[in-house]
Copies of this chain bind each other. A is one copy, B any other.
């Protein structure tokens, strides 16, 4: 459950601007401010079911954006490459420059 919440929060970071303003409000309250469905329903004077359906649709949309654009996945790949690059930069080994070049190539080919 925690893993799923973390993934949704990460996807939300990347794609929130593509959701409707209402979805953004519900998502922020539920995933970032830890409101319950009931509390959001009360706040917006709608049914708990309406909030649930809206959030569920939003999560489906976030996953759909990720399957189309892959921003989270590319971001994670880049972070991994940056970390490898940092290690290489500290490495005194003779193959260092070759490794750096290899990583830079990978980074530059990632859009």
Interface residues in chain A, defined as those with a beta carbon under 8 Å from any beta carbon in chain B = 13-15, 17-18, 65, 68-69, 71, 75, 78-79, 82, 85-86, 89, 97, 100, 104, 107-108, 111
6 contacts between A and B (CB under 8 A): A17-B68, A18-B68, A18-B69, A75-B111, A82-B108, A89-B97
The distance in angstroms between the C-alpha atoms of A69 and B68, with both chains bound, is 14
Determine chain A's interface SS by DSSP, over half rule. helix
The distance in angstroms between the C-alpha atoms of A78 and B68, with both chains bound, is 21
* A2 → B minimal CB distance (Å): 22
* A29 → B minimal CB distance (Å): 21
The distance in angstroms between the C-alpha atoms of A65 and B15, with both chains bound, is 10
Q: Are A85 and B111 in touch, CB under 8 angstroms?
A: no
Say which residue of B18, B86, B108 sits within 8 Å of A79 (CB atoms).
B108
Q: Are B17 and A69 in touch, CB under 8 angstroms?
A: yes
Q: Are A111 and B17 in touch, CB under 8 angstroms?
A: no
Q: Are A85 and B68 in touch, CB under 8 angstroms?
A: no
Whose C-beta in chain B lies nearest to the C-beta of A86? Answer: B104
